[in-house]
Amino acid sequence: MRTDPLFRAIKTAHGETVTITFDDKPLSVPAGISVAAALLLAGVDHTRRNPVSSEPRAPYCMMGVCFECLMEINGQPSTQACLVSVHEGMEVRRQNGAALFQAAGEVLSA
Ligand code: FES
């Protein structure tokens, strides 16, 4: 299985980075890019598991259409990682299975 990243960073004007937490591990990523792009750039091979088959899934369209990038971001499950920019201290987790919500968005289980 290929393990090296399929993506390369485009040189940014300032080269600034932020540190996020991905599955409880610190990860330094370029500032100003999406969570999905940051994780792909870091070589992360999947960001969630299919709730039925448990197959690993990864961001695909990078524009909010396919929903393959659903992750838990800052405690909020089922967040489209391609539509959220990285910020210092952000906590990101893979989403394994379906997340259930109460009416006001409160999580019952994930
Ligand atoms: S990668 Fe397709 S919706 Fe996020």
* C-alpha 76 – ligand 1 centre gap (Å): 16
77-90: pLDDT as tens digits: 999 999 999 999 99
What does the pLDDT read at residue 77? 93
**Residues of the chain with confidence (pLDDT) below 70:** 1-3, 9-13, 99-110
Q: Containing H/E element for 36?
A: helix 35-41
- C-alpha separations of 21 from 5, 18, 55, 72 in Å: 19, 10, 23, 11
What does the pLDDT read at residue 102? 45
Q: Which residues have C-beta within 8 Å of that of residue 60, sequence separation ≥ 6?
A: 66, 68, 69
* C-alpha 58 – ligand 1 centre gap (Å): 9
Distance CA 68, CA 48 (A): 8
Domains in the chain (CATH in brackets) are 17-108 (3.10.20.440)
What does the pLDDT read at residue 4? 74
Share of the chain above pLDDT 90, in %: 71
Q: Is the dihedral of CA 1, 82, 87, 50 positive or negative?
A: negative
